[in-house]
Amino acid sequence: MKRILLSLLLATVSFTAYAQHFITDTAFRQKVENAFHAKMKLIGMKFYDTHGLRVSPEEEEALHFLYAYMPIADATDYPTAYHLNNVRTALRTRTAMAWGKTVPELLFRHFVLPMRVNNEPLDSSRAVFYRELSGRVKGLSMKDAILEVNHWCHERVTYEPSDARTSSPLQSIRTGRGRCGEESTFTVAALRSIGIPARQVYTPRWAHTDDNHAWVEAWADGKWYFIGACEPEAVLNLAWFNEPASRAMLMHTRAFGDYEGPEEVMLRTSNFTEINLIDNYGSTARIDFKIVDREGKPVDDARVDFKIYNYAEFYTAASKYTDRKGETFLSAGKGDMIVWASKDNQFGYAKASFGKDKSVTIRLLYNEKNIPRETDMDIVPPAQNAALPSVTKAQREENARRLAYEDSVRHAYIATFPTEETMKNYRYPAATPYIIKARGNWKTIKAFVEKYAGRQERALRLLSTLSDKDLRDMPMDILEDNMNARSSQLCPRVESEMILAPYKRFFEKVFAKDSARFRKNPALLVEWIRKNIRMNPDGQAMRIPQTPTSVWKSRITDWRSRDIFFVDVARSLDIEARMDAVTAKIQYRQGGKWVDVDFESEAQQTAKTGRLVLSFRPDGFLDDPKYYSHFTISKIVNGRTWLMTFDEGQLDMGGGATWSNTFRNGSTLDEGTYLLVTGQRMADGSVLAHSRFFRIEPGKTTTLPLDIRQESEGVKVIGSFNSEDLFEKDGGNVSILSQTGRGYYVLGILGVGQEPTNHALHDIEKMKDKLDKWGRPFVLLFKDETEARKFQTQKGEFPNLPRKTIFGIDKDGSIQKEIAREMKLHNAGQLPVFIIADTFNRIVFLSQGYTIGLGEQLVKTSSRL
C-alpha cells in the first residue's frame, strides 16, 4: 500500500512539474497563442514540427512564444529541433544556476530565452557557452558573474573594425576579432547562456563624433548594469565610453517579442519592442511633436524619423508613428536633431533642440516636385556629464593583470594562424593571401584550395569575390556549391546577408526546364517571382534575410529577401545580376546594359538618368572633400531619404569616394529629387551643416556648388601649459621644450590598446602627409613603462604616424594632471588627451576621449596657426 501511495505521489509531482506554465499570465499567454497561430497561418505548419521530440507543456509554451515573434527567416531556415534544444538549455539555467529562481519571468522571457541578439546567424553557442561558463561562475554573485563572463569573452575576442555584416558568436571566437556589434552580440549570448538577462545596447550614431557603438546591459539583483563587451573593467557601469555616452542623443535596445516593461517604447513591431534607454546614461528631455498637413490638419500614422548628424548625413536613429491626433513624442539627450516627417509622398522637417524646445509642429509642405530651399544649420550635441563609479588602486591593478593574461591567451590562439612567414614555401602561392586572411577558418580555405588544385583558376576567382569576413567564416559546403555549379557567376554574396546554406546547384535543378528561357529573357524570372512568391503583408517586420532555398520552399518572404533571392537564382542560372552598390537597386544585365528590376511592373526597363557635377575650390586645409566625412547625397523616395552608398573604401585604410574622383567631372544619378548634406565637425563636437535639395532631370547635367561651411573665427588661446615639464625618454628625464624646439607642438597622453586611442592614432595616420608638411613634433606619452612595452607589441598597427613623433612616459602622471587642472577637465582620467600648444605655454586646441576625425581637426587648427 505504501509503495502504491509513493508511486501516486511521485506521479503527481511529476505531472505538476510537467504541466508547469512558461507564461503564467493567462491574458499574455493567450496573446502569444494568437500570435503563434497567425504566424503558422502565414508560413505554414510544416515549419513547426515537434513530431518525436517529446515536448513538455512548458517547453511548448516557450517554443510558441519564440515562433510567435521570430522573423520568418528564423522559422524557415532553422528546424524546430534546433529551437527546442535552445529552449531546453535556457530552461535548465533556472535550476542549475544559483540565481535562476530570482530572475523575473518577464526578463527571462525577453532577455534570456531568445537566441537572436541582432542580425547575426544563429548557431549552437548557447550549449557551448553553458558548458564553458557554468562551472567558471559557480559560487559567484550575479554581479561578479557578469564581470567574470566579460573576462572570459576578452580571452577570446578583441576589437577590430570590419564590414557591417554581423558574425555569429562562434564565428567571432574562431577569428578572435570583432567590431563592437559583434563583441556585444557575443557577450550577450554568453551571459544569456548561464541565465543572466542581457541585451545589446546601441547608440545608433554618436552626436558629438562620427561613429556609432554597441555594448551590453546585464541584469543583476533587481537592476540593469552596463559593461563594455570584451572590455572588462574592475566594476560594473564603467567603460571607456562613460563620457561619450553622456553626450549621446539616443540609446536603444530591441526586446524580443511584445515586451511590457517600464522603459519608454519607441517602436513596437510583430517581432520586437524597441525601447529607449537614454535615461540610463545622460541628462535627457522630452519634446512633443505634432504633424499637420498644408491646411494645418493633424496627420495620423505619419512616419517621424529622428535624425542625428553623423558621417555627413542626417542619419535616422529612430522612427515613430503619429497617433490619431497627429502626435508623438521622444525623450533624448539635450542636443539637436533633425526631425523628418512623411506620409503619402509628402514631407517636412525641422531642427529640434532637446532641453530647449517643449513642442515642435512639422507641416508636410513638400514633395518630390516642390522642394525646400537650401539651409544652414548649426547642430549642437549634448554636453558631457558622466557619473563614474569608484575603483580602488588595487582593483585597477588586479584588472590590468587579468587583462594582460587574457591577451596572452588570445594571442597564443591567434599565433596558430598562418602568416606570410609560415606560408612562404606553400606550393600554391597565389592562394596564400586568402588563407592568411581566413584567420581561424584557414584550414577550410586551405583544404578547398588543395582539393581543387586541378581547377585553380576557378577556385581563386571564387575566393577573390569574398570579403575578408567571408573568408573567415565561409564553410566548405558553400564554397563547393559555388565551385561545382555550372554558372560562371561565382560570387555567392548579394549584400550583407547571411550565407547559411548552398543554393546554386539546387536552383539549377528546380529551374532546369525554365533556365534557357530565363537566360534569354530575365524579365521572365521577375515575372515568376511576382506570381509565385508571396510578400509578408507586415511592412514593419524584422527583415532578417532568408536563405534563397527557404524562400523557394516557403513561398513567402519580405522585399529584402526577395531581392536577394532574385539575384541568387539569376546567378545560379548564369544570368549576370547584382544589387547596385550605390542605389541598392536590383538589376540584371541584358544587351550590354543593366536593367532595373521592378516586381510591381510587368515591363522591366533601365532608369532614366542625368548627371551631377559638384564644384569646389580647395582652400589649403580641405583639398578634396570626402564622401561620408564632408558630404553625402540622399534620394527622396515616397517622402523619405535614402542614402546613396558610394564607395567608402577600406575601414581605417582610407580610399573611397571623394569630390575629385566621383563628382568633379560628374556622376550619373537616376532622375528624381535629392538632398545634398555637407558639414564640418568642430573640435567641441558641434557641426556647421548645410542642406540643399535638387532635381536630376533625364539627359541633363545639374551643376551645384559643394558648400562646406568653415569656422569664421581665428584660433583662440583656450588655456596654458608649461612646456618645461619633464617626461621620461630613453631612461632619463627631458623637458618638452628640449624635444620640440621653439614653436607649436602636439602633445598626446595615450590609453594603449583602448578603442578611443586606436581611433585617434589611425585618424592621425590618415593625415600624415599634411602633418609632416606642417613639420611640428608630436610628443606621445604613455602612462607607465607597462603601457610603453605593450605599445611596442602593437606598434605595427600604427606604421604611418607623423615623421616627427617622439615617444615618452608621463611616469608620475604630472603632465596629464596639469592638463586636466588647467583645462578643467570633467574626468581627468579619460584618455586619450591631445593638445596643440606652443613654447610660450599657450594651448590652442584640446581633444579628450573618443572622437572621430582627430587628424582633420589637428590639420585644420595647424593650417590657421
- One domain for residues 628 and 674: yes
Final residue of a structural domain among 646, 679, 705: 705
Residue 451 has pLDDT above 90, yes or no: yes
pLDDT at 829: 85
Percentage, residues of the chain above pLDDT 70: 96
Q: Is residue 15 scored above 70 in pLDDT?
A: no
Residue that the C-alpha cell 586606436 belongs to: 758
- Average pLDDT score over residue span 237-254: 93
Q: Tell whether 804 is covered by a domain.
A: yes
Comparing 2-6, 23-27, 671-675, the range with the smallest average pLDDT is 2-6
Q: What is the pLDDT of residues 760-810, one digit of tens each?
A: 999 999 999 999 999 999 999 999 998 998 888 776 789 999 999 999 999
**Lowest mean pLDDT: which of 37-46, 484-493, 515-524, 834-843?**
834-843
Q: What percent of the chain has pLDDT over 90?
A: 85
Q: Does residue 401 form part of some domain?
A: no
Task: Indicate whether 564 belongs to any domain.
Answer: no
- In this structure, the answer to whether residues 426 and 289 fall within a common structural domain is no
The reported pTM is 0.90
Q: Is the pLDDT of residue 639 over 50?
A: yes
Average pLDDT on 55-72 reads 97
Q: Give ∠ CA 615-620-626 in degrees, rounded to 5.
A: 50
Residue 405 lies in a domain: no
523 within domain boundaries = no
Do 646 and 723 fall into the same domain?
no
Lowest mean pLDDT among 626-635, 699-708, 754-763: 754-763
Q: Are residues 700 and 724 in the same domain?
A: no
Answer whether residue 601 shows pLDDT above 90.
Answer: no
Q: Are residues 726 and 690 in the same domain?
A: no
593, pLDDT greater than 60: yes
Give the mean pLDDT of 13-40.
Answer: 82
Query: Is residue 742 domain-shared with residue 813, that is, in the same domain?
Result: yes
What is the band of 392 on the pLDDT scale with cuts at 50, 70, 90?
very high
Judged against a pLDDT cut of 90, whether residue 476 lies above it is answered with: yes
- Judge if 73 and 211 occupy the same domain: yes
Residue 170 and residue 210 share a domain: yes
Q: How do residues 559-573 score in pLDDT, each as one tens digit? A: 999 999 999 999 999
**C-alpha of 837 from chain center:** 36
User: pLDDT: is 12 or 185 the higher one?
Assistant: 185
Band of residue 8 on the pLDDT scale cut at 50, 70, 90: very low
pLDDT band at 10 (very low <50, low <70, confident <90, very high): very low
pLDDT of residue 655: 65
Residues 569 and 525: beta-carbon distance below 8 Å: yes
CB atoms within 10 A of CB 389: 12
Least confidently predicted of 6-20, 161-175, 193-207: 6-20
Tell whether 681 and 728 lie within a shared domain. no
Residue 168 included in any domain: yes
The answer to whether the beta carbons of residues 317 and 204 sit under 8 Å apart is yes
Q: Which residues pair with 330 in a beta bridge?
A: 287
Question: Cα separation of 292 and 326, whole Å?
Answer: 7
- Tally the domains of the chain: 5
The residue out of 680, 705, 730 marking a domain boundary is 705
The verdict on residue 538 lying in a domain is no
Which of 461, 484, 507 is a domain's end point?
A: 484
Distance (Å) of CA 196 to CA 96, 138, 277, 387: 12, 13, 19, 25
Report cis status (omega within 30 of 0) of the bond before 832: yes
pLDDT at residue 795 in the model: 67
Query: Per the structure block, which three cell numbers stand in for 429?
Result: 602561392
What is the overall mean pLDDT for the chain? Answer: 93
Which candidate, 633, 655, 653, places its Cα nearest to that of 644? 633
What CA–CA distance (Å, rounded) separates 44 from 39?
Answer: 8
pLDDT tens profile 803-830: 999 999 998 899 999 999 999 887 888 8
* Secondary structure E strands in 358-420: 359-363, 375-379
Peptide bond before residue 389 is cis, with ω within 30 degrees of 0:
no
Residue in the block written with cell 592614432: 761
Q: What is the pLDDT of residue 9?
A: 40
**Three-state DSSP class for 679?**
strand
Cell numbers 520552399 correspond to 553
Is the pLDDT at 651 greater than 70? The verdict is: no
**Residue 805 belongs to domain with CATH number:** 3.40.30.10
Q: Which whole number is the average pLDDT over 78-93?
A: 98
pLDDT band at 753 (very low <50, low <70, confident <90, very high): confident
- pLDDT at residue number 239: 93
Residues 80 and 178 in one domain: yes
Cβ atoms < 10 Å from Cβ of 460 = 15
C-alpha span between 407 and 680 (Å, rounded): 38
- Non-local (6+) Cβ contacts of 475 within 8 A are 444
Check whether residue 212 and residue 91 sit in a common domain: yes
Q: What is the pLDDT of residue 604?
A: 85
Counting every residue written for the chain, the total comes to: 865
Half-sphere exposure of 365 (CA within 13 A, CB side): 9
Lowest mean pLDDT among 94-103, 160-169, 313-322, 740-749: 160-169
Which residues face 779 on adjacent strands?
Answer: 747, 806
On the question of pLDDT at 6 being above 60, the answer is no
Interval 58-87 mean pLDDT: 98
How high is the pLDDT of residue 585? 95
State which of 3-12, 14-23, 467-476 shows the largest mean pLDDT. Answer: 467-476
CB distance 266 to 274 below 8 Å? yes
Residue 777's CB is within 10 A of a number of other CB atoms, namely 19
Q: Is the distance from CB of 791 to CB of 752 less than 8 angstroms?
A: yes
Closest by CA to 666, choosing from 723, 722, 615, is 615
Average pLDDT over residues 487-500: 95
Q: What pLDDT was estimated at residue 1?
A: 43
454: in domain: yes
What is the domain extent for residue 849?
Answer: 719-863
Rg of the chain in Å (alpha carbons): 29
Asked if the model's pLDDT at residue 7 lies above 50, the reply is no
**Mean pLDDT, residues 487-496:** 96
- Which helix (H) or strand (E) element contains residue 702? strand 701-705
pLDDT single digits (tens) 265-298: 999 999 999 999 999 998 999 999 999 999 999 9
Amino acid residing at 531: K
Q: Are residues 37 and 108 in the same domain?
A: yes
